[in-house]
Amino acid sequence: MKLKKSIFLTGFMGSGKTTAGKALATLLKTRFIDLDEFIEKKEGRDIPTIFEEEGEAKFREIETKRLQEILKLKDPHVISLGGGTVCFNDNLELIKKQGTLLYIDLPVNVLAERIKESKFTRPLLKNLSSEELINNIEEILTERKKFYEQAHILINGLNLTPQLILQKLGVYEKENTD
């Protein structure tokens, strides 16, 4: 399968966007970009530091600016977005015009388990007990789902493989040609 346009992966933190994106890009023999890593490289500091020093509003401004840089790239890429990218500014519309947006959906309990293992890197969820973490994920997910569910393709994140993503992309492209 030759990429005609970029593939964007969205979903809650811990949904596997980066892991799936890297594997998919390898399978498609194309470049992979993790938006969070791109931001950190361009800003010269990590995302938790940006949140801490400047707050979420400023981070979202930076995120949109860096997303727009990626959208200007000529060749199609596989791009992993931050968990909130599609929920702010006009990012959702820009992404959907530029490529195919895929939402990786996972149950709250699975997300909580994954996030617990890497909580220190999650600015919005650090220092929470297990119960607080689950409640917080449910609350944030409830707000974000209306954005996530506007993706071109929704896919269950349990047992996700790059081959499954390719299959979903192939079906989507067949249904949306001509």
CATH of residue 90's domain is 3.40.50.300
178 occurs within a structural domain: no
This model's pTM is above 0.85: yes
Residue range of the domain that includes 75:
6-173
Which alpha helices (H) appear in 17-107, and where do they start and end? 17-28, 35-43, 47-71, 91-98
Kindly indicate the confidence band of residue 124, based on its pLDDT and cuts at 50, 70 and 90: low
Specify the amino acid at residue 7. I
Distance of alpha carbon 48 from alpha carbon 70, whole angstroms: 21
Evaluate whether residue 50 is within a structural domain: yes
Number of folded domains that form the chain: 1
Residue 109, pLDDT above cutoff 90: yes
Q: What is the pLDDT of residue 119?
A: 53
Q: What percent of the chain has pLDDT over 70?
A: 94
User: In percent, how much of the chain has pLDDT > 90?
Assistant: 78
65 within some domain: yes
10 forms beta bridges with 103
Distance CA 66, CA 38 (A): 8
- At 52-97, the pLDDT tens digits run 999 999 999 999 999 999 999 989 999 999 999 999 999 999 999 9
Q: How does the average pLDDT of the chain come out, rounded?
A: 91
- CA 116, 120, 124: angle at the middle one, nearest 5? 85
How buried is 118 (Cβ within 10 angstroms: 0-12 exposed, 13-18 middle, 19+ buried)?
Answer: exposed
Residue 1 lies inside a defined structural domain of this protein: no
